Chain A
Amino acid sequence: MSDHSNITHAQLITLYEVSGKINSQLNLQKLLDEIMDLAIKLLEAEKGVLLLRERGSEELTVQVARSIEKNSIPEVVALSRSIINKVKSEGKPVLLQKVPDMHGADASSSLIRHRIKSVICVPLKTREHLIGTIYLDTTDSGHFFKEEDLAFLEGFANLAGVAIENARTYKKLENLNTNLESLVEERAVEVQDKHRELQKAYDELQTTQLQLLRSEKMASLGMLVAGVAHEINTPLGSISSNTDTFLRCFRRLKEAAGKPAPDTLARQKTVDMLDKLARVNETACDRICNIVKSLRNFARLDEEDIKTVDLHEGIDSTLTLTAHLSRNRIKVNKKYGDLPKITCYANQINQVFMNLLVNACQAIRNKGEITIATSFTDGKICVAVSDTGAGIESAALEKVFDPGFTTKGVGVGTGLGLSITYKIVEEHGGEIKVESVRGQGTTFSVYLPIARSGMHGSDSIRP
């Protein structure tokens, strides 16, 4: 048993130098080569073998086997297993100084066979665990290992053990890092796949949304067309009947004019009828004109997108176009305040009124009232549409502006009306609020700023 105190000053310096050298080597195989070469060189051995315990195994396996010329040697030739096993099992160094002299029970036959004269073998330890051994021998009978060599090699083995552990940890870290990198790469591929899937789903969603928007537009258009058709039908029916009656009257008058004694009373009656029907036609034409005007006002087709308009005009036009939904059963109250003109996408804002009015009409199953109240406060116009209809349950109230949410039957609503309404109001920098009491009715309030930055009236666009 040796002690570090046996180490000479010169050896300590050497150890110190060696320590720096091996500790900077992080490549495990290179480190092991270096340790072996240094050990052979420092102890002037003929050859050396470094064995390590593999992970999860008790066995020591040869990692490096070198001669003094730094050449690799076949391990079988060089190795004395019995000595190594002794070091392994006892965890203590072994020093055979002059093998022939020490010949006895301990001496391995392989030593004799290989004419080995002196052997030194120390354990490699980290944190008191044996991780391997360093074995050196020589066949030179003139040079044998001494006690101080043992102490030095033990010190060297301690340094080497730490360095090996470091290199192994480094390798482990490197492996982990590589794994991590490949893992990250895998994940990146996965993420890309997911992204592609999402993009596809998004594209599909957009197509669907576009289709839905189109169907909502068609539904609004259908509503509009039905309303207009109905509104026009009555005066049109009258005019077409009157035209026919006109022709009949004229035929009679012509016939009467050819007769020698005209029936003046009958003629007067016919002329009176013509007069009466002409006035009816006038009224009927006025009615149709009004509807067409409302339609044009509603759609604002002949004007620029952004316009400075009177909102009451838009509301009135929309009321005309939704009249067929309310005429028989719903009393419409207008509580119009003084409103300044507002700069907006007028046809979109009319679409908002249309949606709110149609909803209000549909909310009232039988008879009821719709009240449209307008006011202007703090630079904002408020248009409140209230109905005395069924009301909305509080659970549904949170969802009324969600796209696709509808309580109307299939084919009645697309569930997009209010979400479009919400979007239009939002794009105008305004807000929309809803209040509802089940069984009593609902109020939608739209707040719109009269002008908004980024939106210019047509007046300001024109030079």
Chain B
Amino acid sequence: MSDKETDNSVEKILILDDEEMVTTSLSSFLELETEYDIITFTRGSEALEHIRNNSIDLVISDYLMPDMDGITFLAKVKEIDPKITRIILTGYADKENAIKAINDVGLFQYIEKPWDNDDLRIVIRNGLEKQKLMRELDRKVGEIQKAYGDLHGLHREILKAFA
């Protein structure tokens, strides 16, 4: 894992579920089949602390958890960094209410338990793609704004020169 941490291009994924068996299964599969950098938590508060202090690209969270439910957790993640792709994993009996909550917070995707590993990988890949495109877009917008600023300055200097 140490070699991944040094590589800045490796996407960082955070997994939160109060059940360790779930985080173990998810992280094992992703470690085996992908190059993503995986970190797992079983407590929401600890996961939030980590997100505040580290760069994270995608978050997968369980819905029903004892201290903080998944919707609340992901809403807080959005507050910290809206560009992080948020995915919820739900085994909740009342799917309708879950989906309503998901829409309220604005999530990228929800995955039902039990999940299919290949589907999960695709959802994660798409989520990261979107995240990457968003960051790219941000960067381009920044570049355009900078270029516009430069042009604006130049324009003023030219006007000054002719005045």
Which residues of chain A have a CB within 8 Å of any CB of chain B?
226-227, 229-230, 233-242, 244-245, 248-249, 252, 270, 273, 276-277, 280, 283-284, 287, 324, 327-328
Write out, one digit per residue, whether chain B residues 67-94 have a CB within 8 A of any chain A CB (1) or not (0). 0010000000000000000000001111
User: In the bound complex, what is the Cα–Cα distance between A241 and B64 (angstroms)?
Assistant: 19
Contact B28 A233 (CB under 8 A): no
Q: How far is the CB of B9 from chain A (nearest CB, A)?
A: 22
List the 8 shortest-distance A-B pairs measured between CB atoms, nearest first: A233-B91, A237-B114, A237-B113, A226-B93, A241-B25, A238-B21, A240-B114, A238-B25
User: Given A229-B93, A234-B91, A238-B21, does the pair A245, B29 have CB atoms closer than 8 Å?
Assistant: yes
Do A235 and B21 contact each other (CB < 8 Å), given the known contacts A324-B93, A327-B66, A328-B69?
A: yes
Secondary structure of the A side of the interface? helix
The answer to whether B33 has its CB under 8 Å from any CB of chain A is yes
Q: Which residues of A contact B29 (CB under 8 A)?
A: 241, 244-245, 248
Contact B33 A237 (CB under 8 A): no
CB pairs A–B below 8 angstroms (30 shown)? A226-B93, A227-B93, A230-B93, A233-B91, A234-B19, A234-B21, A234-B91, A234-B113, A237-B25, A237-B91, A237-B113, A237-B114, A238-B21, A238-B22, A241-B25, A241-B29, A242-B25, A245-B25, A245-B28, A245-B29, A245-B32, A245-B117, A248-B32, A248-B33, A252-B32, A276-B28, A277-B28, A280-B21, A324-B64, A327-B66
Considering the complex, which residues of chain B in the window 106-153 have a beta carbon less than 8 Å from any beta carbon of chain A? 113-118
A40 to chain B, nearest CB (A): 106
Alpha-carbon gap, A250 to B32, bound state (A): 12
A239, B21: Cα distance in complex, Å: 9
Instruction: Tell yes or no: B55 within 8 A of A by CB.
Output: no
Q: How far is the CA of A226 from the CA of B117 in the complex (A)?
A: 24
Within 8 A of A (CB), among B15-66: 19-22, 24-26, 28-29, 31-33, 64-66
B25 adjacent to A280 (CB under 8 Å): yes
Docked Cα-Cα span, A252 to B122, in Å, equals 21
CB proximity of B51 to chain A, nearest CB, Å: 21
Task: Tell me, rounded to whole Å, the shortest Cβ–Cβ distance linking B74 to chain A.
Answer: 15
B residues in contact with A283, CB < 8 Å: 21
